Amino acid sequence: MLTVTDWRELSACRDSDPDIFFPVGTTGPAVDQIRKAVAICSACSVKEECLQYALETNQEAGVWGGYPEDDRRRLRKRWLAERRRRRQAS
Ligand code: SF4
């Protein structure tokens, strides 16, 4: 299992402009920045680790694991519900 430090060292965005991963807003120029960030994520070998980290630590801003803020917020609601269901079942 990779530690946080390990997967970050393997990230495809390591040398990318951080502004495209943390655009201001979700309209106008941010649309293109988000699209570029998601494209970089799609080729990232640690996408799953990144997304898991973002869900576990409730990262609200930016693109993580290929998911922009709004998409990740919806995904996190489902992720939390599934986690609750698994804990109740065990
Ligand atoms: S999935 Fe995207 S945000 Fe996460 S480490 Fe990879 S390139 Fe960076």
Please give the chain's pLDDT, 90 residues, in tens.
Answer: 667 779 999 999 999 999 999 999 889 999 999 999 999 999 999 999 999 999 999 999 999 999 999 999 999 999 999 999 999 998
Does residue 1 fall inside a structural domain?
A: no
pLDDT of 25 reads: 87
- The reply to whether ligand 1 has any atom less than 6 angstroms from the CB of 67 is no
pLDDT of residue 19: 94
Domain region containing 83:
17-89
Mutate to test the pocket of ligand 1, among 47, 49, 51, 75 (most ligand atoms within 8 A of CB): 47
* Residue 44 in contact with ligand 1 by CB distance below 6 A: yes
20 lines ligand 1 (CB under 6 A): no
Residue 1: the pLDDT is: 66
Nearest partner of 9 among 54, 62, 60, 45, judged by Cα:
45
Write down the pTM of the prediction. Answer: 0.91
Q: What DSSP character marks residue 26?
A: S
| Total of domains in the chain | 1
Q: Residue 89: is it exposed, middle or buried by C-beta count within 10 angstroms (0-12/13-18/19+)?
A: exposed
